[in-house]
Structure 1
Amino acid sequence: MKMVNIDASEDIKKLDSQNVLGSIDELPDQCLHAWEEAEKVDVPDFYKDIQNVVMCGMGGSGLGARVIESVYGSDLRLPLVRVNDYNLPGFSDIHTLVICSSYSGETEETLQNAKEAIDRKCKWMAIGSGNSLIKLAQEKGVPCYIIDAKYNPSNQPRMAIGYSIVGQLVLASKVGLFKLQKSDIDESAEIMKTIQTKSHSEITENDNPAKQLARSMYGKVIIYVSSGHLIGAMHTVNNQLNENTKNMSTDVFIPELNHHLMEGLKHPEMNPQNLFFIFADSNLYPERIKKRFTITKEVVEKNNIGYFEYTLNSINKLTQSFELIQFGAYTNFYLSMLYDTDPAPIPWVDYFKEQLGQPLGK
């Protein structure tokens, strides 16, 4: 297989047909722009008269809910349920707020969620760039954040995660689910820009940790490991590895994996050649979790499987989440270059959607 020189900017530009790298570079600006625009959305006071919140979204449009769940879990004022499916929870009613997110505005599962929210008389809001979901929200007169993706040059929905995640953060905070301030987004954007100074494409592989990690990941099935506040961010990185790099991976978390996954390292015999673990370490983890990470790495090593530790050191849970997302986006992009793979096309997702639109056979 041909391997692109990841230090050669002209080679990268030729392969990156829709400028996915540009969207990665502009991720901090996406976050700042999303705050500015989503803050303008008028949410009526009666929207705060709720007993639970349901956040609906598929793929990249569902990542904000995962980040909120992970970062703010212990501080949430109300129960939060994340839906990545066609149906709302059975308890959904007039006391429920449903937040529907679809970048394209045409995601069939999320459109059904919105229609079900209307039928169940739930309060609801929408996030998207336009089309059916936003039209429905405007028709019903409910709050909606319309994404103006000026900082997403690739125009790929999954590369608009700054808009999607921050948009969901802002709308959820407007009903008092948790506290969010402009400084939280400013600090997150600043740490992302710091990551860029070390991982930008102009930094050569000898001095670029994202390029170095991509080299270690080449040809491997990736097992991402995180805990607590980083679970949502790590799922984001995993999501983008699948779509941008076309690489098999999964994300698991501590302590849950300590109760089963370690025993699965023995078979098949090719695991040491095929698997590679990436651990997201954090100075904010409780001491008990830190100890679990240390022992888990020992188990992986004793099974002769390679791993990499990425340590998050920024100031709080939200900034660390965005720090991980930014670093992961660069790493995944460089790995796609090593595979000589244009990160933009998603042929199997497109094929699936095309087939799903055909009449069902007997």
Structure 2
Amino acid sequence: MYTLDKSDYKSILLKFHLQIEQSPQLLEKASINIDVSKVKNIVYLGLGASGLAGDLLHDVLFDCLRVPMNVIGGYFLPGYCTENTLVIASSYSGETEETVAATKKAIESDAQVLIVTSGGEMRRLAEENNLSHILLPENFRSRHVLGLLFFPLYHFLGKNGFISRYQEDLSDLAKFVKKFSSRNDYPTFSGNILSRSLAYTIENKIPVIYSTAPYLRSVSRSWKDEIEQKAKALAIAGVIPEMNHNEIVGWEWNSDMIKNFIAIFLENKDVDSRILKRIEISKEIIKKRGVEVVEVYADGKSRLEKVFSLVLLGDWMSYYLALLYKKDPTEIKNVDYIRQKMSGTE
């Protein structure tokens, strides 16, 4: 089974804690010349794993950010970008077509630009235009370095006063993540492995994954993305309370196909009481349709521990699901095909 993992993605999962540990050094080596006193809003540009890193930053720091932050994935820049806007443009490869185009528009808008990349066109733009940039290690796929896309920016925002509650020392988080990953390493870990059990539970079902706003909002999207990319299977993501105003009605679908779905609730035991009530009512409605409901709870004490325990659990689960489906968890043929067609190289 493990011969399917041609790029040894499992070892990357086991070393995720190193990305947390390396991030302060990456920021120290970065070329940054941002006048933070002028920044009145932040626009984050990114797609795929880079976009997810931005969404996670926005959600984790929801009540801590001192200025508004919007995450945008696409070719275009919002009209409110001015010299008082900090544009964070993230593309690990440096060749993400949409982000490159939007970054060029940001340069034209006179916004302050901070680029996060490992090279490519984005690095060229940074160097030719004397833009602030954080240079990441090369030779990975972007979804293998979510930690490097997230944590250097977390430290940048914290050290420059954009966050009201900033935890500079993340050594405890790194230890937590290392231990968490070791408990999901089959067959090395001899106890119950939740991620592997979840993969068997989800197998041959269409997972509908729900998380809660604001802090876990993007985690359901993370699970969806990982299932689709690694296992090459479709998944659906939603957020409570938003799904209570639209999607919940979809569970009335009068079709035998509804039995092919499985609902997964990603939860935090410290959630607001009104949100908790909505979760329980939503489960009740879905169970009445004969659909299996699975509850998954965040681990850890701090907000970062809780968020990344669920992100990494989804990462491990989708890895095992890929192996169950006999798929290479790293291969993304359709994404590569679209890139080739768009670039005219085929």
Q: TM-score, normalised by structure 2?
A: 0.93
What secondary structure does 1:230 align onto? coil
Partner of 2:17: 28
Q: What SS does the corresponding residue of 1:73 show, helix, strand or coil?
A: coil
**Deviations for 1:125-175, whole angstroms, at most 9, x for unmatched residues?**
1111111101211222222111125xx8xx322111111121332333344
Counterpart in the other structure of 1:132:
121
- Secondary structure, counterpart of 2:216 in structure 1: helix
Partner of 1:194: 179
- 8 Å contact 2:89–2:113 — kept in the other structure? yes
Aligned to 1:312: 298
Alignment-derived partner of residue 193 in structure 2: 208
CA 164–230 in structure 1, closer or farther in 2 if over 3 Å, else same: same
Deviation at 1:77, TM superposition (A): 0.6
Q: For the Cα contact (< 8 Å) 2:87–2:114, is it kept in 1?
A: yes
**CA distance in 1: counterparts of 2:132 and 2:335, whole angstroms:** 30
Alignment match, 1:157: 142
Are 2:98 and 1:109 aligned? yes
Q: Deviations over 1:208-257 (max 9, x none)?
A: 11111000110111111111201123322221111111111121111110
Identity %: 26
Match of 1:38 among 22, 27, 52: 27
My pick for the range that moved more, 41-50 or 98-107, is 41-50
Shift of 1:284: 2.6
Give the one of 278, 293, 318 matched to 1:332: 318
How far residue 74 of structure 1 moved from its aligned partner, in angstroms, is: 2.0
Structure 2 residue aligned with 1:7? none
1:269-293 alpha-carbon deviations (Å, 9 max, x no partner)? 1344211111111023111111111
- The 3-state SS of whatever aligns with 1:99 is strand
**CA pair 220-206 structure 1, distance change in 2 beyond 3 A:** farther
- Which structure 1 residue ranges, 5 or more long, are not aligned? 1-10
**Residue aligning to 1:234:** 220
SS at match of 1:192: helix
Q: Distance in 2 between matches of 1:37 and 1:191?
A: 21
2:210 is matched with 225
Most deviating of 290-299 and 188-197 = 188-197
* Matched residue, 1:82: 71
Contact 1:271-1:305 within 8 A present in 2 as well: no
C-alpha change, 1:168 and 1:62, in structure 2 (3 Å) is: farther
Q: Which residue is equivalent to 1:181?
A: 167
Secondary structure of 1:74's counterpart equals coil
- Contact residue 299 and residue 310 of structure 2 kept, 8 A: no
User: Aligned equivalents of 2:24 and 2:52: distance in 1?
Assistant: 16
Kept after mapping to 1: 8 A contact 2:42/2:85:
yes
Return the offset for 1:190: 2.4
Q: Deviations over 1:8-50 (max 9, x none)?
A: xxx31x1101111111111111122123312443533623311
Whether the 8 Å contact between 1:254 and 1:289 is mirrored in structure 2 is: yes
Tell me, yes or no, if the aligned pair for 2:9 and 2:329 is still in contact at 8 Å.
yes
Tell me, yes or no, if structure 1 residue 64 matches structure 2 residue 64: no
2: CA distance, partners of 1:350 / 1:131: 16
Query: Match for residue 347 of structure 1?
Result: 333
Q: Tell me which amino acid in the other structure corresponds to 2:181.
A: Q
Q: Secondary structure at the match of 2:297?
A: strand
Deviates more, 1:167-176 or 1:70-79: 167-176
Q: Which has the higher contact order (CA 8 A, sep 6+)?
A: 1
Q: Give the secondary-structure state (helix, strand or coil) at the position aligned to 1:345.
A: coil
**Counterpart secondary structure, 1:187:** helix
1: CA distance, partners of 2:63 / 2:256: 40
Give the letter for the 1:98 counterpart: V
Q: Secondary structure at the match of 1:229?
A: coil
Contact residue 180 and residue 309 of structure 2 kept, 8 A: yes
Looking at structure 2, the residues matched to 287 and 207 of structure 1 have their Cα atoms a distance apart, in angstroms, of 31
Residues 220 and 239, structure 2, Cα contact 8 Å, conserved in 1: no
CA displacement, residues 82-118 of structure 1 (integer Å, 9 cap, x when unaligned): 1101111101011111000000001111111211111
Residues 1:158 and 1:268: Cα distance change in structure 2 (over 3 Å) = farther
Residue aligned with 1:124, SS: strand
Aligned-partner residue type, residue 202 of structure 1: P
**Does the residue aligned with 2:308 lie in a helix, a strand or coil?**
helix
